[in-house]
Amino acid sequence: MIFQDKRILITGGTGSLGKSLVRSIMTGKFGTPKQVIVFSRDEDKQYAMEIEWKKMRSATDDIFYYGDDVLGFCIGDVRDYESVVRVVKKADVIINAAALKQVPIGEYFPFESVKTNILGAQNIIRAILETENNVETMLAVSTDKACKPVNTYGMCKAIQERLVVEANLICPKTRFICVRYGNVIASRGSVIPLFQEQIRSGGPVTITSKEMTRFMITMDNAINLIVETIRSAEAGDIYIPILSSAKTLDLAEVMIGDRKIDIKVIGIRPGEKIHEILVSEEEIPRTIRRGNYYVICPVLPKIRKVKITRPVLAKELSSSDNTMTKGKLKEFLQADGYLNL
């Protein structure tokens, strides 16, 4: 019960992942938390979320609302050190889900990505280092775009991963760890809501390339990955889920089904890759298998605890390999209701 009696701080707590994390933690299935703190700069989303939770107090089957003080809301920005310090002092566990993650926007405003995705993470680390606190674990949410990055977002997340690994040397009382995964289905910015809206409007459905592939993970599996990483990771580990991938063309065709809707190729957007990578060739020598996950051990030998004698991967983990058939993709989407329009 890893969250039993813990104060859990979720930065970016009003985003798609943040809200789902709050809901999952508040079920009590990972232990009854002392407090869950939602930290973000969007007061409208915080207000809407607070009202939604107050309505849940007496009328849900799966949520156990523990009282007014258990779910807390704090306006602030990971870019602002002073506001970060305030909440870090309250936390036992920090999940850094704050991100500026839209790839093309990052290309047009690269320093904005730097401020959120690099300096924001460093502010959390600095607050842990420089203040009196009880932070046991800080987990950073990364992305497959951090592996051999070609866009600003991926480059920033790659540096964030390095900052988190190095933090284990300068803050030895806190465990710093990461997760890295692909596209969360139906999250903010995901292609699935876009396709759904385009299909409802009669089309066309727009794709960037007929060859493009992407790793796909459900929100539930993303949360399970975070929980398992907090449960079992060593300092500096980056946990990687074993994911299915799909062609975006196949995804569009499966979602369209028998409807008479055209597919239009609009070209690759700024910063996009054709294929994504979760584990690179360079990372294979320090990658192990732990349960249902791959784990990239720290790049710094001083932190690495595992001696690796035989690589678990023969080549880099690319979304271009072992893509789902259309039949498997349909089953995958149906299982979570993503074909319902």
pLDDT score recorded for residue 187? 75
For residue 196, which phi and psi values (nearest 5 degrees)? Answer: -60, -45
Residue 318 one-letter amino acid: S
Q: Count other C-beta atoms under 10 Å from residue 159's C-beta.
A: 17
Provide CB contacts within 8 A for 318, sequence distance 6+. Answer: 275, 276, 277, 278
Is 328 an active-site residue? no
pLDDT score recorded for residue 132? 93
Provide CB contacts within 8 A for 85, sequence distance 6+. Answer: 127, 131
The CA distances from residue 192 to 167, 260, 273, in Å, are 36, 18, 18
List, run by run, the mean pLDDT of 10-residue segments along the chain (341 residues).
96 94 94 95 91 68 58 95 96 97 94 98 98 97 97 98 98 97 81 89 93 93 97 97 94 93 94 96 96 95 88 94 92 77 55
Among candidates 30, 273, 37, 232, which has minimal Cα distance to 137?
232
Distance CA(260)–CA(257), nearest Å, equals 9
pLDDT score recorded for residue 306? 86
For residue 143, which phi and psi values (nearest 5 degrees)? Answer: -150, 155
Q: Tell me the DSSP string of 264-325.
A: EE--PPTT--SS-EEE-GGGGGGEEEETTEEEE--SSTTT--PPPSS-S-SS-EETTSSBPP
Distance CA(45)–CA(69), nearest Å, equals 19
Q: Count other C-beta atoms under 10 Å from residue 173's C-beta.
A: 10
Q: Of 115, 145, 247, 273, which one is the catalytic site residue? A: 145
Give me the count of residues in the chain: 341
Please name the helix (run of DSSP H) or strand (run of DSSP E) that holds residue 239, with its range, or none: strand 238-241
Handedness of CA 12, 13, 14, 20 (dihedral sign): positive
Can you list the domains of the chain with their CATH numbers? Answer: 7-182+218-242+277-317 (3.40.50.720)
pLDDT score recorded for residue 136? 98
Percentage helix, strand, coil for the chain under 3-state DSSP, each rounded to 5: 40, 20, 40
- Are 134 and 96 in contact by the 8 Å Cβ rule? The answer is no
pLDDT score recorded for residue 59? 46
pLDDT score recorded for residue 340? 66
pTM, 2 dp: 0.93
Distance CA(92)–CA(76), nearest Å, equals 18
